[in-house]
Amino acid sequence: MSVIAINELKKRFTNGEVEEEILKGINLELQPREITALVGASGSGKSTLLTIAAGLQPSSEGSIVFNGQDLTQMNSEEIRKIRAKDFGFVFQSSHLVPFLTVEEQLYLMLEVAGKHLSKVELQKEVRELLQRVGMEHRKNAYPSSLSGGERQRVAIARAIVHRPKILFADEPTASLDSLKSKDVMKLIRELTTSFNITTLIVTHDREMLDYVDNIITMKDGFIQSN
C-alpha cells in the first residue's frame, strides 16, 4: 500500500494574461520506508510538485490521497493539522529559529504537532534523537554557532521529532560540500528506514542518488519515463 498517491495532478499559474501549465498530469505513489528522488532541470516543476504534495499550495486538478483522504478536497485547517502531525520538512536552508537552542527547536516542533507527552518523555525523545543525529553535545547551542552541516542535522531532527509519516526535503544538501552532503544523505537514509518514514527529496546532486530507492525525472511538467 502506498503512503501517498498522487493522481493526474496539474498546476497552472497565471502570469498577467498568460496561463501556464507547470505540472501537466503527474502520477506518483510513494511506498513506506522508501526514498524517492525528484530530479530534472531547473524549472521542470520539482518544487511545485513537492509543495503541492505536502499541502503547502493548492493544485489546479487531480487528487492526492493520504491516509485514505484526498488532500485536494480538504479545507486549510484540515490540511494544516495533517501537515503538523504527519509531515516533516527540510529545505536547502535549515530555517532554524535564531533565538532558540538546538533542543528548544525540537520542543517547539513537538508543541506545533500537538504531541501530548510528559516532560520526562519529551526530554527523552528529544535527547535520543539529538544523539541519533550526532548533535546531543550541542543541545544548548544557538544556530549561529553551528556549521552548515550541523544546522542541517538539527533541521532533520526537528523535521522528524514528531514522527511524521512523510518527510519532504527540497534540496537539503544544496548548501553543503560533497562530504557533508553525503553525511546528511546517509542520515536521511538511516532515519527513513528506522523511523518508518517515507521520504520525497528533490536534489540536483547525482551523488545523492546512491542513497535513494526510486529516481523520478521531471521534464517540463511531466514525469519522464526512465
Ligand X SMILES: Nc1ncnc2c1ncn2[C@@H]1O[C@H](COP(=O)(O)OP(=O)(O)OP(=O)(O)O)[C@@H](O)[C@H]1O
Decide: is 203 part of the binding site for ligand X (CB under 6 A).
Answer: no
With vertex at residue 38, the alpha carbon angle to CA 156 and CA 79, rounded to the nearest 5 degrees, is: 60
Decide: is 32 part of the binding site for ligand X (CB under 6 A).
Answer: no
Please give the backbone phi and psi of residue 4, each rounded to the nearest 5 degrees, phi first: -145, 140
CB nearer to Mg ion: give 164 or 172: 172
CB nearer to Mg ion: give 2 or 217: 217
Output the smallest distance, CB 28 to Mg ion, in A.
16
Say how far apart CA 25 and CA 11 lie, in whole Å: 8
Decide: is 93 part of the binding site for Mg ion (CB under 5 A).
Answer: no
The HSE-up count of residue 79 (CA atoms within 13 Å, CB side) is: 17
Decide: is 42 part of the binding site for ligand X (CB under 6 A).
Answer: yes
Decide: is 15 part of the binding site for ligand X (CB under 6 A).
Answer: yes
Say how far apart CA 108 and CA 113 lie, in whole Å: 9
Of 2, 31, 47, 217, the one binding ligand X by CB under 6 A: 47
CB nearer to ligand X: give 45 or 172: 45
CB nearer to ligand X: give 101 or 217: 217
How many helical (H) and strand (E) elements, i.e. helices and strands, does the chain have? 6, 10
